[in-house]
Amino acid sequence: MFYTYKEGDEATLLGLKVVVVLFTLAHWVFLGFILVIIATLIARKQPILPGALGILAVGLAERFSFPGALEIMFRALMLSMQNLLTIILLIGMVVALTKLLQDTGADVIITQPLQTLRDPVLSYWVLGVVMWAMTLFLWPTPAVTLLGAVLVPTLSRSGLNPMAIAMSLAIFGEGLGLSGDFVIQGAPSLLSKATGLPLASVLDALWPVVLASGLAAAAVGDWQQRRLSKHTGAMTAILPHTQAESKLASKAKIEHPKNTDPAARMIGFLVLGGYAVAIAILILGKIKGDGASAIIGGVTLIILITGTLLKDRGNAFSTFVEYVRHGLRFSIGTFTPIIIMAGFFFMGTATGTLAVFDRHEPGFFSDFATSLAQVFPLNKWVAGLFVMLTAMLGSMDGSGFSGLPLTGGIAVALSEAAGLPLAPLAVLGQIASIWTGAVLIPWGFAAVTAAVAGVEAQTLVKYNLPSYLTALAVAYLWTMMRL
C-alpha cells in the first residue's frame, strides 16, 4: 500500500479532530534505518554503508521489486547530487586557488602582517577574525591549513600558547565561520534543499543568531585562553622540532621558502582585490543565495586562471588542469559520503517524495511528526531541543554537513506538527550541527586543527567545551525568543 496521508484525512475522537496517518512498510523501514545510522554514529563508525543499504531497503519496501528498488536508489542519489553539485564545484575552485597561493608563496605575503603579533589576547582575536574571514571565502580546512602552515611556527616561537591558537582557529573557523557560511553558502544551500525554504529566507534567519552565538562562544574562548595562560604561563613545548610544532608547521618550512615566486605579490594583491570587488558587487547589488555563490565562484575561477598564467606561463595549460584536479579531488572526496547520506534523508521530505517516489505527499518526516504530536505535546521548547539533539547525533561522524539533511527534515516535520515557523528551527539545527562537528567531535575538524597547532585533539575539545555549550545555549534561547 503506497498511500500514506493527504490533507483532509481526519477522524473524530471525543469531539476532537485527529489526523490519521497510515504508516506503510516503507515508513517503518525508513525509521529503522535512521536508528541504525544513529547507532553507527554513536559507535564512531562511518554511516555511509547503512545509508546506502537504507535507500535500497526503502525502495524494496515501496515497490516490492528489485528493479523498482534499483530505480529508486538511483533517483535518490541523483536528487542528492543535483542539490550538492554547485557546492562541490565552488569548493573545488576555492581549494584549487588555495593550492596556487601555497605554491607561489602568496599566502605568506597575504598573512605577513599577522606574523608580528605578540600579545596573547590580541593574537587570539586577530587570528580568529582572520580565520573567520578566510573561512567565508576558502572554507575551514583550506583556511586552517594555510594559516597554520604559515603562522603557527612564528606565533609559537614568540611565546604564544599553541592551545590558544588552536582554540581560536576552531571557534572562529568552523564554529563561527561555517555555521553561517555566508559567502560560499554551502551549509545554507544544503539546508535550503532539505527544508524546501528559499535560500534567501535561510540566510535572513541565519545571520543574527550565528553572530550572537558565535561571538558569545568566542568571548568564552578568550576567557579560557586567559586562564590557560595564567596557569601554564609560556608553553614549555614550543621549541622548534618539539611536539608543539605540528606536522603541517614543520612542512611549511619546505613549502614556503624565503624566496617566494616573483609573481607571488601580484597574485596576493589579485586575490585581495578580486574578493573585495566581489563583496562590493554583492552588497551594492543586494545579491543573495545562488546568485552570490555564482559570483564568488566566477571571481575565484578568474583569479585562478590569471594566477596560473602569472606563475607558469610556459606550462599554464597543464598546471591549470593540475590545480583544478587537486581542488575537485578534495571537494568530491569530502562530499562523497554526504551525497549518499543526503540521498537517504532526502527521501523523507516532500521534495524527495516527489522526485524519488513520484508522489505529491508530505513525506516520511512529516508523517512521523504528525503522529508524534498526537502522542506527546509539542511546544517550541520541546521542538527546539529535539532539533538540536537530532543535529548533534547527525554530526557524530565529525562532519557538520552530514547531519543537515536529517536536521532539515526533522525541522520541517516538527514545525508542521507544532505550528511553528520553519526557518528559525531549521537554522537552530544548522548551528547545532556545525558547532558539534567543529569543536565537540575529536575525530572531526578538531583533529585537523589540533594537528596544525601541535596539540592533542582530546585536550582541544576539553578546552573548547565551554565555548561549544555557550554557542548552543545562546542559539537555543535566541530561537525561542523568535518563535
Q: Give pLDDT, residue 61.
A: 94
Alpha carbon distance 395, 444 (integer Å): 9
User: Which residue type is seen at 275?
Assistant: Y
Q: What is the distance of C-alpha 289 from the center of its chain?
A: 16
**Considering the domain boundaries, does residue 19 fall inside one?**
yes
Q: How do strand 10-13 and strand 16-19 relate by DSSP bridges?
A: antiparallel
Q: Give pLDDT, residue 202.
A: 93
Q: What is the distance of C-alpha 449 from the center of its chain?
A: 15
**Considering the domain boundaries, does residue 5 fall inside one?**
no
**Considering the domain boundaries, does residue 386 fall inside one?**
yes
Band the pLDDT of 260: cuts 50, 70, 90: low
Q: Give pLDDT, residue 336.
A: 83
The pLDDT tens digits for 396-434 are 666 677 778 878 888 888 888 788 999 999 999 999 999
**Considering the domain boundaries, does residue 4 fall inside one?**
no
The pLDDT tens digits for 82-134 are 877 877 888 788 888 888 988 888 877 877 777 677 777 888 898 899 889 88
**Considering the domain boundaries, does residue 200 fall inside one?**
yes
In the chain, how many domains are there?
1
Band the pLDDT of 15: cuts 50, 70, 90: very low
Alpha carbon distance 170, 210 (integer Å): 15
Q: Give pLDDT, residue 276.
A: 84
| Joined grid coordinates for residue 6 | 493527504
Q: List all residues 6 or more positions away from 435 whose beta carbon is below 8 Å from its beta carbon.
A: 175, 179, 213, 217, 400, 468, 471, 472
Helix (H, G, I), strand (E, B) or coil at 4: coil
In this prediction the pTM is 0.71
**Considering the domain boundaries, does residue 3 fall inside one?**
no
**Considering the domain boundaries, does residue 408 fall inside one?**
yes
The pLDDT tens digits for 218-235 are 999 999 888 887 765 444
Q: Give pLDDT, residue 222.
A: 92
Q: Give pLDDT, residue 165.
A: 86
Band the pLDDT of 258: cuts 50, 70, 90: very low
Torsion angle, alpha carbons of 21, 25, 27, 29, to 10: 160
The pLDDT tens digits for 132-187 are 988 888 777 777 766 765 666 666 655 668 888 889 999 998 889 889 888 888 88
Q: Measured between alpha carbons, how far is residue 71 from residues 59, 263, 358, 397 in Å?
A: 8, 52, 12, 28
Question: Residue 30 above 80 pLDDT?
Answer: yes
Q: What is the distance of C-alpha 353 from the center of its chain?
A: 25
Q: Give pLDDT, residue 240.
A: 36
CB atoms within 10 A of CB 385: 13
**Considering the domain boundaries, does residue 210 fall inside one?**
yes
Please list the residues that pair with 193 across neighbouring strands. Answer: none
Q: Give pLDDT, residue 16.
A: 42
Residue, of 329 and 289, whose pLDDT is higher: 329
State which residues form the domain around 233: 10-482
Question: What average pLDDT score do residues 356-384 get?
Answer: 80
Band the pLDDT of 53: cuts 50, 70, 90: very high
Alpha carbon distance 54, 2 (integer Å): 18
Alpha carbon distance 358, 416 (integer Å): 22
Q: Give pLDDT, residue 373.
A: 65
Band the pLDDT of 293: cuts 50, 70, 90: confident
Q: Give pLDDT, residue 254.
A: 35
Q: Give pLDDT, residue 68.
A: 93
Burial of 469 (0-12, 13-18, 19+ CB in 10 A): middle
